[in-house]
Amino acid sequence: MNSLLPTPSKEALSFLDPFGFGRAAFDYWRDAVERSVLYMDVMRERGNQYLEHIEKTKPNVLGFDAEVVMDGRSLPRPVNYELMRILPPPDVEIDLQARPFVVVDPRAGHGPGIGGFKPDSEIGVALRAGHPCYFIGFLPYPEPGQTVEDVVEAEIAFLHRVIEEHPQSCQKPMVVGNCQAGWQIMMAASLEPDCFGPILIAGAPLSYWAGERGKAPMRYTGGMTGGSWMTTLASDLGDGLFDGALLVQNFERLNPANTWWDKQYRLYANVETEAERYLNFERWWGGHVVLGGDEIQYIVDNLFVGNRLSTAQLVTSDGRRIDLRNVRSPVVVFCSQGDDITPPPQALGWVRDLYGGTDDIIASEQTIVYCVHDTTGHLGIFVSGSVSRKEHAEFTANIDYIDVLPPGLYETTVTSAAERDDAELIERDYLLEFKARSIEGLNRDVLHHREEDDTRFATVARISEINLGLYRLFVQPWIRAVMTPEAARLMRRMHPIRLGYKLLSDRNPLSVPLPVLADWVRQDRHPVGENNLLRNLELAASRQISHSLDSWREIRDQSIEHTFLTVYGQPLLQAMVGLGGDAHVHRRQPGSEPEHRRFIERRQDELLHRVAQGGVHEAVMRSVIHVLGGAPTTDERNFKRLRASRAELEPGSSLSDFKHLVREQFFILKQDRDAALAAIPQLLSNERAETIRDSLEHIDHVLAASGELSEHARKRYEHIRELFGEALERVDPVEHRQALAELHDEVAMGAKAETAARSEVAKLLKADPEAPKPEQPRRSAGEKTRKQASKPQAVNQSDDRSSAASNKPGASRKPRKR
């Protein structure tokens, strides 16, 4: 096969170009032309893929087979959502008794399926762990009259159906909400907390005013456009529908270097290896969907501009308050410092908005765990394969541990086992560790909150209401009068993002030669080497272009931030919209209802009466919680050993029983730690000495799972050993143990003397076989009594071995003898 371009002979080149520069230039030119042909052919395939995808009735990018279990269009309030069961691949075995796993995809301009579009995804990780998996997706167009409240109610109905599908599982479904789906499931969990297991919200914005100066430029968008009136205008131009391509366009504007150059150049420079990855991602990125005008207006007014979700100001149409403090499931917040769409302050700011301190979190019996990634971008949080194999795999593997964590605020980190000194104690490649945090520390390290900024955003919210009212009064009637469904469809088709896909497809006659040329190039490809001077110059030019676009972005974002802070920070403007510069009035933490306060008081009284109630299980759990409460960090190893030991003692106990025991003992310790610890000997008063020793050994075994204890935790453990020693002294006094030990020594010495005598007799008989055998002496009654008394000593020896085992490295000392 001849090359696409004529190639001069080596002899001619060496004669005309003795230094080889001409040859290098020709090689680079030929490679650049071939890469250009292949690049344009990939773009043609992208266009064909886009057209094929959007013409489907139910398009999604799921990489797994699925079947529809429940159609949201059949609900009393129809919605364009579906509940689908993921069918596992042939090489994956599902445990039907395991906790169901539900992934809810974001509806923010793109189509569904990104949570499971490849094996290393959220769904792929859960399937490999043996969980039954479900997926909540949506159709391209909303149902007439569909609202956000209807979608939330539909998701609640879907979860009830999942629970009905798994009666053999006693654990509620784990629900994963990506991006915009995160606030949807949090709203649903606040309205119906009983149908949710642990909740993982990945890259989900819940506090829209939050952010750090110099970052999070998207939070200024509402102020720079004068509020939400432009959203209403876009919906009116769409004849009641909002084009999701507008949202995608906003995302792309955040990072012009990646949108306009890096993404395309990466494909051009590595067209042979990047084509498949590029096409797979573009299938989702270009699958634009449509939202209802009422839906997007509700979202912008109440969430993006109004920030009413994180301050418990949202009320449903039937009068129910959406208060995130009603969520009873553990909430795992996964965010990233590299995320410019949902930065960590927006993902975690709701904690500060709702709770005055960690005591408020504990009083609400809420467990909040957050994990902040260092570098990955917004999409990488729930798309990146490396993130799925590391963070999501660890969240899934330890979800039962998260479910039984005592109430409070925790930061979790995922560390590689190979980088740790105790790698031999870790079962998997990574270890999930938990560290208790305070809201003050969260605000200092992550949120960087400034109260004066609250007034600025409250001013934006007021101006948005004014502008929206003026638009609806003077402009909206004219727009609606001239717009028709056909005109709205034409506008969506002509959107620049959509045209970029359509123009480079087989429907464009100019693209007909591309596949022929691409095949010709692939059959006789001439890639240039990395040592080519012009190729290196190309890479340097690419980096310079990308750097220039990044610099322009930084200047743009700084200008927008400065303008926003200056304009909306004017006291006169704030006073004109009725604020008066008082930020606290408009971001006050929601107070507790009288019923909730009375419930807490009754709960506290109940716990006070249960301080001395229980037995060995309560004593062991109380002791472990007390010791680990003094450790700087804890991880799943302690939990696994504790749960495995409890399963051996009580095979019929469930995870919910274990969770109840953990939380009750935690609250008892929290209520009155001194009284709770002093009651441990009383909890053990009806137990046998052997049981007490075994329990202490069990505690030591659990605590040793995560390595050496800290100094503070070790002192706490010494106190626990003293309390167990006190209980042991009550049921088995030291005098009794000493008497048994002396009797054991006497019997052992007698047996040793008798063995020596028998050995001497054997030697005599061996020397003189005909000598008469000595007469066996009769045992006296006292010796018989001592022999009988020595029989139970075997149990006592076992107890002594147990006591010795409990004093291995990691334990401090033996129980105190009194």
CB atoms within 10 A of CB 583: 18
Residue 150: the pLDDT is: 97
Which pair of tokens denotes residue 449?
A: 């909150």
Sequence-ordered list of residues with C-beta below 8 angstroms from that of 371, at least 6 positions apart, any chain: 332, 333, 334, 335, 391, 395, 411, 412, 413, 414
Distance CA 149, CA 375 (A): 35
Distance CA 84, CA 135 (A): 5
The residue among 626, 614, 627 whose CA lies nearest residue 682 is: 614
Which long-range contacts does 322-325 make (Cβ < 8 Å, 24+ apart)?
Answer: 322/187, 322/190, 322/191, 323/190, 323/590, 324/186, 324/190, 324/206, 324/350, 324/354, 325/190, 325/354, 325/355, 325/364, 325/366, 325/590
- Strand blocks (E) in 525-668: 634-635
8-state DSSP, 525: -
8-state DSSP, 413: E
Which pair of tokens denotes residue 481?
A: 């009068």
Q: Pairing relation of β-strands 101-104 and 174-178?
A: parallel
Distance CA 108, CA 184 (A): 12
Residue 663: the pLDDT is: 86
Distance CA 615, CA 635 (A): 26
Rounded to 5 degrees, φ, ψ at 593 are: -75, 150
Decide: residue 802, CB within 10 A, 0-12 exposed, 13-18 middle, 19+ buried. Answer: middle
Distance CA 714, CA 266 (A): 54
Q: CA torsion sign, 201 to 204 to 206 to 211?
A: positive
CB atoms within 10 A of CB 462: 18
Angle at which helix 689-703 crosses helix 636-649, to 10 degrees, equals: 150
Beta bridge partners of 415: 431
* pLDDT beneath 50: ranges in the chain: 1, 15-16, 773, 776-818
Distance CA 225, CA 219 (A): 12
pTM of the model: 0.84
Residue 793: the pLDDT is: 40
Q: Which pLDDT tens digit goes with each residue over 234-267?
A: 999 999 999 999 999 999 999 999 999 999 999 9
Q: Where are the alpha helices (DSSP H) in 569-635?
A: 571-576, 583-586, 594-609, 616-628
The residue among 403, 410, 374, 405 whose CA lies nearest residue 390 is: 374
Rounded to 5 degrees, φ, ψ at 747 are: -65, -40
